[in-house]
Amino acid sequence: MQSLDYQVVDQAVEWLSGGRTIWLCTVLSTFGSSPREPGSMMVAIGDGHHVGSLSGGCVEEDFLARLAGGEYNASAVIVRYGGTGYSPESSRIRLPCGGTLEVLVERKEPGPENLAHLESVRGALSGEAERTRMVRLTDGKSWLEEARAAGPRVSQDESNELVSIRVGPVARLILAGYSSVAEACAGFALSLGYQVVLCEPREEVIRDIRLADGVEFIPQLPSLYIASPGACTPSTAVVAVTHDPRIDDLAMMAAVKSPAGYIGVMGSARTSEARAGRLRRTGGLSEADIERIHMPIGLGLGSKTPAEIALAIMADIVRVRRGRSVSEL
């Protein structure tokens, strides 16, 4: 699956390769209600052609009009949309939703360095590991660094005039075994833009399985798939919700040896305590391994139905992916 980010960067590489100057735009921050999340990208060339989006349309129209008028000649500049006040680096556009957003605009001319950088970004978006794209505002220089296991997608170091943007593969959810909760998790995850893989080896379960379009089904023991090369990245969540220790425990043992960014298994506090003991004794897991596993899984919403439990699970996955602690909610 090619994400919109991949399509944006792929088009940027094509334009640079063809000798065109590009303007790469990235949403840095949002305040209040805003149409796009931090990290959303758009690329444009001087004639108005563009790929990607920053808002519902008003920001793009303003940006392209100002670009055609000869603005944005700096290597890197942050433009503010919405809110109050005005400066040469801001726009008088007011967002219909009443929110504000800041956009990093990078002007990149064709050349080996810029082309190599964006080709590396494209590789990260289609590869197995997240990277952090660093942009220095003083001169527009950009490079890639290793990404942390979790955290916000975009951050700014104002003292050093640096912007860091996480780039990497599409978020993936691996469901270790089928259940009504797994089915509901799959639906939520698809609506959030996740790739969804469900592994289920039990023939008696496969006969009655119901999966939404877009879910990749693999009739294999989940632990074997999780341990396979490339199955898990820092953008991957591994979730076991079958109540079958033969499925769930083995999945956890494989997941903690992977770079998965979220690992969780369903069960009560008592069940989770017993599982932790089994994983220590028979699985050889260390305390650090056990601490990586969210058990009981999900936010404490008082969920009862499969859909409510799935909501709590997916909300917790998003929380961890965005680098938020439970106390911040």
More confident residue, 30 or 86: 30
Q: Residue 87 pLDDT > 50, yes or no?
A: no
pLDDT digits (tens, 9 = 90+) for 191-229: 888 889 999 999 999 988 888 888 999 999 999 999 998
- 87, with CB counted inside 10 A (0-12, 13-18, 19+), is exposed
* Edge-to-edge strand list for the sheet holding 131-136: 142-146, 131-136, 162-167, 154-157
pLDDT digits (tens, 9 = 90+) for 4-28: 788 899 999 999 999 999 999 999 9
Average pLDDT, the chain: 88
Task: State the pLDDT at residue 53.
Answer: 86
The values of phi and psi at residue 168, to 5°, are 175, -175
The predicted model gives 63-68 an average pLDDT of 90
More confident residue, 168 or 115: 115
The predicted model gives 237-254 an average pLDDT of 95
Q: Are 163 and 190 in contact (CB under 8 A)?
A: no
* Domains recognised in the chain with CATH numbers: 4-167 (no CATH), 172-328 (3.40.50.720)
Indicate the pTM of the whole model: 0.68
Distance CA 246, CA 275 (A): 11
Q: Residue 1 pLDDT > 50, yes or no?
A: no
The CB-side HSE value for 18 (13 A sphere, CA atoms) comes to 9
Task: State the pLDDT at residue 86.
Answer: 45
